[in-house]
Structure 1
Amino acid sequence: MDTQTHTPQNSDEKLVWYSISFTYLFWLLGAVYIVAPVIGWVLLLKMLRRYTFNHAPYQIPPAVKTWCIAMFIMLVALIIAHIDYQLGTPKLIKSTIGWAKGWALLAVFPLIGALDIRPEIIYRACCQVCKHTLILLPLFVLAWLVRLPETLYVSPTSIIGGPGPEFFSVSLYEIDPGSGLPRWRLFTPWAPALGMLGNLFSIFALQEKSLKYKLYGLAGALIMILISQSRLAIACYLFIMVYFIFWRYHKQPALYLIASPIVLVAGLFGTHVLEKLESTILAIKAARAGSTRVRGELAHIAIERWSNEAIWWGHGIVERGPHLVEYMPIGSHHTWYGLLFVKGAIGATALAIAMLFSAMSLIRHCASHPLSRVALAVLIMLFLYTFGENLEILAYLFWPGLLIIGIAFKTQLTPSQSDNAS
């Protein structure tokens, strides 16, 4: 194995490498929420300095420009909504800082993909996190068995402000109030977010060249998905596996020979299959009926208030929901409903256009650019999670995926490098 391939070769790669591979150390310090915005903006400032003073020849792909415009529109919507509802200057400043730590990262990390950062570094660092998860898992299970406190402490770093104390807490386990069973969130703010990271790490582990680290990555990522007990995470994982199986064998005639009778049988028994799928979906929802009910009510409230109060620019800030939804923020658990409520139709349209334009660009290059297939998998995963999470709040966790998307767009401008990019 060429160890140099997986050793950071410059200051940019070192920042990315240590930021990912030391995830559990940052978790103990309560600093995971802080690292991503700091790394993103620091790298962006370094990029701007090199471009200004060293005349570095950075090229910004059209898709990345689209993300930059879309996230700037988010900021404009935020400002206009604050003015419309007379929320005051202090709240505007606080919301702008929140934008810089959230939505802005969806443009910042694809933008710094133009830097000299190799995807192999990101893959290996994420596999390291999976390895650490496998090592630490017995301790987390033991903590539940001996009934240690669910949360050890909330880090003093919480004084910088954030969405909530769970973003700075060190949690050993938690008990699902619906089932009474344990579930784990590890270094994420809640269990479904851990499932999301498990899917992202699965995508990266499949690209790892070392068999040892590939196994670490796949095993650790699957463990994250399972202990999160997230229904969306399991569905997304199955989709990702099918996706990469297709790309691995899409040029093999055997794939289509096998698929043809399957499609024929599915056509003959399609109605029966759909009924079974529907009953399965209902059974899954019934397994956590409380969560399903809260999500449905949150969606209903968000749509109702958006359509009646703030169609174009939204309300500007999140609001606490009523007792009916256990006081969850209105628009949480769903990116699109959250966007409509907070930033209106303008904000939701901006995100939709950026995602659609990026998907079209990546699909066009999937056949010739292996890294575009990886980036498209990340984008599809993010799209699936828009229906179960708020991307803005979790951008500090899935930023390695955004960086891979940016690197993939860069390789489209330099075809000669694409063969070594995956």
Structure 2
Amino acid sequence: MLEFKPISNQSESKSVAKPFAERVVYWTILLTPLWWVLGLQTIVYPVVSAFLLIAGLNLDKLIKKSLPVCNWAWLGMTLAALWTNIFGLESIGFDPLKTAATFFTLFKGYFMIFGCMTLPFWHRIKVQTIVRAVSWMSASYLILLTIQLLILFGLGPQDHFLPPLARLIPGEKTSLMVKFAEIQPFFGIPLPRTDLYTADPPILGVCGLLCFFMCLSETNQRLRKFALTGSFVGLIISQSRLAWVCFPLVWIIIYCFRSGLARQAYLWVISLTSLFAAGLSLSIKDFIALPLSTFNNARADSSKDREFIVNATIDAWKESPWLGWGIVEKTASWGNGVFVLPLGTFSSYAQVLYIHGIFGFIFFILALVSTLCSFWKPAIQGNPICQRAFGCLVALYLLIHATNLTWMAIYFWFFFIWLGAVLSEVQQQQPNVTQWGDLGVRSWE
């Protein structure tokens, strides 16, 4: 009989000093509230990952320790984006401010993802160390949320403020603002909403979902409960409809792996959808349209704005389909010019087509698919951590249809280090289900 049981090597791991890179990653995650208050998140995380990547760069490691295909795919996406960026910047004469903003976006986006996923292959960074730091950070959601709600209901809505150190960072300041909870309508009901350590509430929904499934591996039961509660509350108060839908989806994916239905999952989905639609005398299109309409009506204005910007982005891409525009150059306005947003503000897929064209889009899809496929085999073989990682990646790929990956990746940079650490430990193991317990917390008997 197959059974999960905790491994008892915690006292031994505590007595061994953590390597330098592991300590840096641990404390950088743990001090997230500090970076948020100082307004340094967009600087600290990519700089830390780049510093550790350079510090661990060694020709011997490159030769003897091969990186997974997905790591090279993200590096390929970085280089493809750089190439198209240069073409776009050349068309405007390499304006200094635009050039700096474009390269910094690339640095804290695709390059940071590549760096974070590569760090565990060049440094000793254990999965459980990342999980412990994320658990403490997730638990802190409860403290900050309590403070924000007390301020909201006790003193009323408060103005956002820009931390002093954030003023020294060039570029736009919106993502650096420290914001307080506020009341926003949801299905016409006024409810509190906040973004905590992120720049936008939907990003908090993504972080809450990813942190929840990462923290399932926490061995300290009390901390685990606080971390899961904090992650779930963050997910709920973000009012991110798509994140809410993706949360049970991840559970379904995990269940399919554990029940042996993963290979037949798509058949079950199609069959059940057809059955329900037939039972209600609806076409497949109408069956999908009904919940989608309810989903969009929850925040009708937001849904319409997103749809408008995405459609305008696709229209702009059609003017330069192969290499894109290289930079964000155009905007879309509506409401008699009251609302103006840059093209590519929402969907990552539309943004990649618009900025990098079909050329960059091919590299982007290769990076997404290769990363997902890296976890398929160990997940099928019974690795519980890889099953969660696979489910989280599927959810993330759906979520980036609504929010740009290059904008929000900075706020869950630890997720990519976790992915790299899982792949690194899988690579070190023999393909034997009796050894999957070394990945974090579980073992098979």
TM-score by length of structure 1 reads: 0.88
Match of 1:46 among 42, 47, 55: 55
Q: Deviations over 1:291-321 (max 9, x none)?
A: 0110110011101111024542324225443
Distance 1:209 1:249 in 2: 24
Match of 1:323 among 331, 334, 337: 334
In structure 1, runs of 5+ residues without a counterpart are: none
Distance 2:270 2:107 in 1: 47
The answer on 1:167 being equivalent to 2:175 is yes
Match of 1:391 among 394, 405, 408: 405
Using a 3 Å threshold, how does the CA distance of structure 1 residues 300 and 16 change in structure 2: closer, same or farther?
Answer: same
After TM superposition, the structure 1 = structure 2 runs for residues 200-349 of structure 1, keeping only pairs within 5 Å, are 200-250=210-260, 268-271=275-278, 272=280, 278-309=289-320, 311-324=322-335, 326-349=339-362
Distance 1:55 1:193 in 2: 34
CA contact (8 A) 1:185 1:191 kept: yes
Offset, 1:127: 1.2
Match of 2:110 among 96, 99, 103: 103
Q: Deviations over 1:140-191 (max 9, x none)?
A: 1111112444345211232344663232222121343775543111110011
Offset, 1:210: 2.7
Distance 2:112 2:206 in 1: 17
Secondary structure of the corresponding residue to residue 233 of structure 2? helix
Using a 3 Å threshold, how does the CA distance of structure 1 residues 4 and 315 change in structure 2: closer, same or farther?
Answer: same
Distance 2:217 2:29 in 1: 17
Using a 3 Å threshold, how does the CA distance of structure 1 residues 77 and 208 change in structure 2: closer, same or farther?
Answer: same
Q: Deviations over 1:169-218 (max 9, x none)?
A: 22121343775543111110011110010011011122223322221122
Range moving further from structure 2, 382-391 or 177-186: 177-186
Distance 1:302 1:124 in 2: 40
Distance 1:228 1:126 in 2: 18
After TM superposition, the structure 1 = structure 2 runs for residues 52-71 of structure 1, keeping only pairs within 5 Å, are 52=59, 57-71=64-78
CA contact (8 A) 1:314 1:345 kept: no
Match of 1:27 among 26, 29, 36: 36
Offset, 1:31: 1.8
Determine the structure 1 residue equivalent to 2:443. Answer: none
Determine the structure 1 residue equivalent to 2:139. Answer: 131
Distance 1:342 1:236 in 2: 27
Offset, 1:98: 2.3
Distance 1:317 1:266 in 2: 40
Range moving further from structure 2, 143-152 or 202-211: 143-152
Determine the structure 2 residue equivalent to 1:72. Answer: 79
Letter in 2 for 1:200: L
User: What percent of counterpart residues are identical?
Assistant: 21
Determine the structure 2 residue equivalent to 1:361. Answer: 374
Q: Deviations over 1:212-244 (max 9, x none)?
A: 222112211110011111101101111122223
Range moving further from structure 2, 132-141 or 112-121: 132-141
Match of 1:18 among 27, 41, 58: 27
Match of 2:166 among 130, 139, 158: 158
Offset, 1:247: 3.4
Range moving further from structure 2, 19-28 or 286-295: 19-28
Determine the structure 2 residue equivalent to 1:420. Answer: 438
Secondary structure of the corresponding residue to residue 178 of structure 2? strand
Letter in 1 for 2:223: Y
CA contact (8 A) 1:411 1:418 kept: no
Range moving further from structure 2, 167-176 or 261-270: 261-270
Letter in 2 for 1:321: A
CA contact (8 A) 2:117 2:421 kept: yes
Letter in 2 for 1:154: L
Offset, 1:250: 3.8
Using a 3 Å threshold, how does the CA distance of structure 1 residues 356 and 264 change in structure 2: closer, same or farther?
Answer: closer
Q: Deviations over 1:318-364 (max 9, x none)?
A: 54431348212211121011112222222222111111122223212
RMSD over equivalenced CA pairs, Å: 3.0
Determine the structure 1 residue equivalent to 2:209. Answer: 199
CA contact (8 A) 1:71 1:104 kept: yes
Using a 3 Å threshold, how does the CA distance of structure 1 residues 81 and 266 change in structure 2: closer, same or farther?
Answer: closer
Distance 1:261 1:338 in 2: 33
Letter in 2 for 1:17: Y
Secondary structure of the corresponding residue to residue 171 of structure 1? coil
Between structures 1 and 2, the one with greater helix share: 1
Secondary structure of the corresponding residue to residue 182 of structure 1? strand
Offset, 1:53: 8.8
Distance 2:109 2:168 in 1: 15
Match of 2:393 among 375, 379, 387: 379
CA contact (8 A) 2:182 2:194 kept: yes
Offset, 1:370: 4.0
Offset, 1:375: 2.9
After TM superposition, the structure 1 = structure 2 runs for residues 181-200 of structure 1, keeping only pairs within 5 Å, are 181-200=191-210
Range moving further from structure 2, 311-320 or 128-137: 311-320
CA contact (8 A) 1:5 1:120 kept: no
Distance 2:223 2:405 in 1: 28
Q: Deviations over 1:268-308 (max 9, x none)?
A: 43332865653222112112110011011001110111102
Distance 2:62 2:302 in 1: 53
